Amino acid sequence: VAVKLADYSPYPFEIEQVDLAFDLDPDATKVSATLKISRKPGGGTAALVLDGEALDLKSIHLDGRLLGPEDYALTEKALTLPDVPDAFELKTIVEISPAKNTALSGLYISGGRFCTQCESVGFRRITFYPDRPDVMSRFFVTLTADKAACPIMLSNGTPGDVQDAGNGRHTITWDDPHKKPSYLFALCAGDYDVYRDTFTTMSGREIALAVHVDKGDAPRAAWAMDSLKRSMKWDEDTYGREYDLGVFNIVAVRDFNFGAMENKGLNVFNSAYVLADEDSATDADFEAIESIVGHEYFHNWTGNRITCRDWFQLCLKEGLTVFRDQNFSADMRSRPVQRIKDVIRLRGRQFAEDAGPLAHPVRPDTYGSIDNLYTATVYEKGAEVIGMLRRIIGPEAYRKGMDLYFERHDGQAVTIEDFYACFADVTGRDFTQFRRWYSQAGTPQVTVAESWNADAGELTIQLSQSTPPTPGQKDKLPVPIPLELALLDGTGGTDAWTVVLDQPEMTLTRKATGARPLLSVNRDFSAPIRVERDLTRDQRIALVVAETDPFNQWDGVQTLVTEEILKLSEGSQAQPDDQLVDAVASAVRKAAGDPAFAALLTRLPEVGELFLERSPAEPVALHSARKRLQAALSRALSDTITTTLAAPSPTPYEPSAEQAGIRALRAAFITLLGASGAPDAGDTLLALYNAAPNMTERLAAMRALTALGTCQARDTALADFEQRWKHNAIVMDKWFAVQAGQGTAATVAELAAHPDFDLKNPNRVRSVAGVFASANLAAFHAPDGSGYKAVEDIILKADAANPALAARLLTAFEQWRRLEPKARAAAEATLKRLQNAKLSENSADIVSRALG
Ligand code: ZN
């Protein structure tokens, strides 16, 4: 049953106030909900329909009168009261079992503590309520729990005093003064270690900040706290947005389906994105924590104060908030390096999604299962669209439009149209065509051709765009594509300008002062497109050398190595071209002054990206070609690698961007060293593993050892790592992931049989099945179907307990139509088998869309 954007209609009632009382017990929690309800003016005589799922209804009172079964209708999904007055109070009492909730949606237990996840539709698993984002209300929440088990009881807003409740229990009421939809409700209760600090806002108010973690983990929350304070300051400085409550709480939860959740004043995090210290975390972990803490904090204004009218508008809060967190990270670190990393992520996940059967617009107009719409397209492409908006209208107009948006829509649940009306009002522009970016799926392709008129000293540039068909959208219209262009004279001279390609075709001419210039296109990745240019390899190398935009320097190298790998993949023995390898090696050496950037230059595109360039795609051949190029690059850089690794790693350790850059290059060189094919690589890597003074380098060495395949050095490192970290689940996830990312189907089966493999823990399941299916494509797409079988086994078990988790894993099958015939047949057979298995709604939705 598909939901359609066109079918939206407002809720006929207002919920003026909600009083929730929780009598917390792992097996049987009693939830009393008192709703002050009034019919909206013109609300007619509509029945009151409340969402509710898996609730054990105990009683309903309307204005104090106990209702009987003749007064209402109760189904699996809803409670309907056909005949209600215009204004009334409704009190329901239900019982739920947090301990039995394995779906991790609604109220559940993790690590022995109570927590909730309500977005999008988890609140209906807690109590009967209009569980939709456009119903906003004032919440009062009373929590009662066992004093010993739950010394700390948290919810949204402002806490009242803790009072004794008898029988060893105590009680507290939280009052959230800001109206909110139910998906932003949260409660957490249990025994935590708390890392506390304060933040003084721009108007001088002092906010009490606290990060709640497992017993003994408080010191590992320091970085998350530091990131939170920097986020609060950044939103004041960059968007003029101040925090609006006296307290801000973060709770780390071990079993969590996603990264984190922006509940008002009570952000709940997957513990992997809270806990970090020098010994146990990589620089990438520190970076991810900073970015996700920022993301959830920024939602306070873009998501909470102003929320979405319906779930079709998800990108209104997610795309915008990702754009905000990306800029926060860019300001904390290096802007060009951040841009490159954002594009790697976009191309790796979103471009693939946009090119397969799961493709959908940034704002979809229909969905089967809302959980499956938290996609790379909504988040990452959604962020790119905001970036294009800002580029087209300029930073000042962007800020003015945002200010107007905050002023006009504070406290409301709105749409993409409302958002763009603010920018139309401050600029006088019409965004009708621009909004096609929200309704049209698929990655636009821009073809660039050029011709030089020596007599006139003029370069003519012909641009054309087209977007491939996607499911349900055969014909595409042109979108406005902001293209940053430049003419480069080869000695650093740069004549840069921006055009908006809003027609199917456009011809530009540009005067140049001297000899024929080189043309730089889509600088800084100004639009999320694929650029097609008919250039020879020599021309591409010349362009990389002349390039003055760091993003395009990197991207030029990516294009060169991509073309080389694709060529190599056509012959199993073909060897990389020396001239190409030398060009890449010299670009890496030249970038030594910016090690984070140099590290990115050593990166070869993943099989998942290479895939998109080939149909049919042969993952095994692509993987082997990639390895050959990596080995050649390793040999070409061998002296630089030896010298760099002989120098000590920076001490004392700091998670700073500067040190992280140095370690990133060291880790990249460790990877290359392992790829060299040298007979003593195992011993060298084991020595590096043993000597590594931080997790970034230790993990790089362990990964490189694992890539060698079965050998003594690899086994020694893996055993040592397990011994050292077996009591730290987050670190052990890396141990599982490293092996799943390199091994075969047999490795996956072995890891799934490990005593520490836990089907109930999403991080652990993803570190095995998720990593295997998304980062080890040669093995996942093995022509004999063994990779599919290994993942299918895990998915079937996971789905019974946790549909959201299983459905996410299933998306790995989205590329099946592109595969060489054997793998393709095996993938299709697997999907058909899954289609006939009794899957959850979430998983069935992915399978049926994947089959198309
Ligand atoms: Zn978000």
- pLDDT at position 613 over 80: yes
Backbone angles phi, psi at 30, to 5 degrees: -95, 130
At 42, the pLDDT band (50, 70, 90 cuts) reads confident
Q: What is the pLDDT of residue 573?
A: 87
Cβ distance 137 to 15 under 8 Å? yes
User: Is the pLDDT confidence value at 450 over 90?
Assistant: yes
What one-character-per-residue DSSP string does 477-489 give?
----EEEEEEEE-
669 pLDDT more than 90: yes
Residue type, 483: L
Mean pLDDT on 86-105:
98
Query: In whole angstroms, what is the distance from residue 716 CA to residue 728 CA?
Result: 19
Q: How far is the CA of 696 from the centre of ligand 1 (A)?
A: 27
Tokens representing 362 are 């940034």
Q: What are phi and psi of 38, to 5 degrees?
A: -140, 145
E strand intervals along 113-241: 113-117, 137-146, 152-155, 158-159, 163-166, 169-180, 187-190, 193-200, 206-213
Mean pLDDT, to the nearest integer, of 21-25? 99
Task: Round to whole Å and give the CA distance between 177 and 179.
Answer: 6
pLDDT in tens, 470-512: 999 999 999 999 999 999 999 999 999 999 999 999 999 999 9
Pairing of strands 65-66, 163-166: unpaired
Residue 43 has pLDDT above 80, yes or no: no
Q: Give residue-wise pLDDT tens across range 163-218.
A: 999 999 999 999 999 999 999 999 999 999 999 999 999 999 999 999 999 999 99
Percent of the chain exceeding pLDDT 70 equals 100
pLDDT value of position 282: 98
pLDDT (average), residues 419-430 = 98
Residues in the chain: 852
Query: Is 379:322 a contact under the CB 8 Å cutoff?
Result: yes
Helix (H) or strand (E) holding 531: strand 530-533
**What is the DSSP code (8-state) at residue 503?**
S
Q: Per residue in 216-229, pLDDT tens?
A: 999 999 999 999 99
Q: How far is CA 144 from the centre of its chain?
A: 35
- The answer for residues whose C-beta is within 8 angstroms of residue 296's C-beta and 6 or more apart is 260, 261, 262, 267, 269
What DSSP character marks residue 70? G
Alpha-carbon distance of 530 to 525, in angstroms, equals 10
pLDDT confidence of residue 531:
98
Q: Is residue 526 classed as helix, strand or coil in its secondary structure?
A: coil
Task: Say if strands 106-110 and 87-96 run parallel, antiparallel, or are unpaired.
Answer: unpaired
d(CA 316, ligand 1 centre) in Å:
10
pLDDT tens digits, residue range 115-168? 999 999 999 999 999 999 999 999 999 999 999 999 999 999 999 999 999 999
Helix/strand/coil percentages in the chain, nearest 5: 45, 20, 30
> If you write DSSP's letter for every residue of 445-469 in order, what string do you get?
EEEEEEEEETTTTEEEEEEEEE---
Alpha-carbon gap, residue 630 to 675, rounded angstroms: 6
The band of 284, judged by pLDDT with boundaries at 50, 70 and 90, is very high
For residues 22-46, average pLDDT: 96
Report the separation in Å between the CA atom of 310 and the middle of ligand 1, taken as the mean of its atom positions. 15
Q: Answer yes or no: is pLDDT of 413 > 90.
A: yes
Task: Judge if the upstream peptide bond of residue 586 is cis by omega within 30 degrees of 0.
Answer: no
Let me know: does 192 contact 171? Beta carbons within 8 Å.
no
- What's at 73, amino acid-wise? A
pLDDT tens digits, residue range 58-75?
999 999 999 999 999 999
| DSSP annotation string for 239-281 | H-----SSEEEEEEESS-SSSEE--TTEEEEEGGGT---TTT-
User: How far apart are alpha carbons 674 and 687 in whole angstroms?
Assistant: 12
Using CA atoms, how far residue 448 sits from 456, 613, 800, in Å, is: 21, 18, 50
DSSP state for residue 577 in the 8-state scheme: -
Q: Is the pLDDT of residue 551 over 90?
A: yes
Residue 139 contacts residue 129 (beta carbons within 8 Å): no
- pTM for the predicted model, two decimal places: 0.99
pLDDT value at 296 more than 90: yes
Distance in angstroms (rounded) separating the CA atoms of residues 433 and 635:
51
State in Å: Cα 318 to ligand 1 middle: 5
List, for residues 707-752, the tens digit of each pLDDT value: 999 999 999 999 999 999 999 999 999 999 999 999 999 999 999 9
The residues whose Cβ lies within 5 A of ligand 1, an ion, are 318, 321
Read off the pLDDT of residues 226-253 as tens digits, 9 standing for 90 and up.
999 999 999 999 999 999 999 999 999 9
Catalytic residues: 296
Could you tell me the CA-to-CA distances from 494 to 512, 552, 632 in Å, in that order? 10, 13, 33
The chain-wide mean pLDDT, for the chain, equals 98
Structure tokens at 561: 């190595």
Distance 643 CA to ligand 1 centre (A): 43
Amino acid at the residue 226? D
Q: What is the pLDDT of residues 765-802, one digit of tens each?
A: 999 999 999 999 999 999 999 999 999 999 999 999 99
Per-residue tokens: 406:
């905050």
Q: What percent of the chain has pLDDT over 90?
A: 99
Checking DSSP bridges between strand 113-117 and strand 3-4, what pairing results, if any? unpaired
DSSP β-ladder status, 413-414 and 113-117: unpaired
572 confidence band (pLDDT: 50, 70, 90): confident
Q: How far is the CA of 324 from the centre of ligand 1 (A)?
A: 10
- The model's pLDDT over 620-658, given as tens digits with 9 standing for 90+, comes to 999 999 999 999 999 999 999 999 999 999 999 999 999
Q: Give the DSSP per-residue string, 275-313.
A: ---TTT--HHHHHHHHHHHHHHHHTTTBTTTBEESSGGG
Q: Measured at the alpha carbon of residue 628, what is the angle toward residues 625 and 632, in degrees to the nearest 5?
A: 145
CA–CA separation, 458 vs 490, rounded Å? Answer: 17
For residue 308, the CA-to-ligand 1 centroid distance in Å is 12
Q: pLDDT category, 306, cuts 50, 70, 90?
A: very high
